């Protein structure tokens, strides 16, 4: 029983971290430096993309663990 509770705590932590990374990446995408890079290259900076990817992966893993039976 304790193992299932630990898994739920870890899954909630992953969800929270994933949401925080996604929000951080979104805030970084509005920065002046990123907008200049985006206008010159047509894509977001690597730092923004890393946060989006890590946030989505963390959120997906946390959701999977949370809803896994």
Give the pTM. 0.82
Residue 3 CA to residue 16 CA, distance in Å, equals 20
The residues, any chain, with a CB within 8 Å of residue 25's CB and separated by 6 or more, are 48, 49, 50, 51, 52, 55
Query: What's the number of domains the chain is made of?
Result: 1
Q: How confident is the model at residue 57 (pLDDT cuts 50, 70, 90)?
A: very high
- The pLDDT tens digits for 35-52 are 887 788 877 788 889 999
The boundaries of the domain holding residue 49 are: 2-67
Neighbours of 20 (CB within 10 A): 14
The average confidence (pLDDT) of the chain is 89
């Amino acid at each position: 029983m304790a193992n299932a509770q630990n898994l739920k705590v870890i899954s909630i932590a992953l969800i929270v971290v994933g949401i925080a990374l996604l929000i951080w990446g979104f805030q970084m995408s509005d920065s002046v430096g990123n907008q200049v890079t985006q206008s010159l290259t047509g894509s977001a900076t690597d730092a923004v993309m890393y946060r989006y990817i890590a946030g989505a992966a963390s959120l997906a893993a946390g959701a999977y663990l949370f809803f896994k039976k």
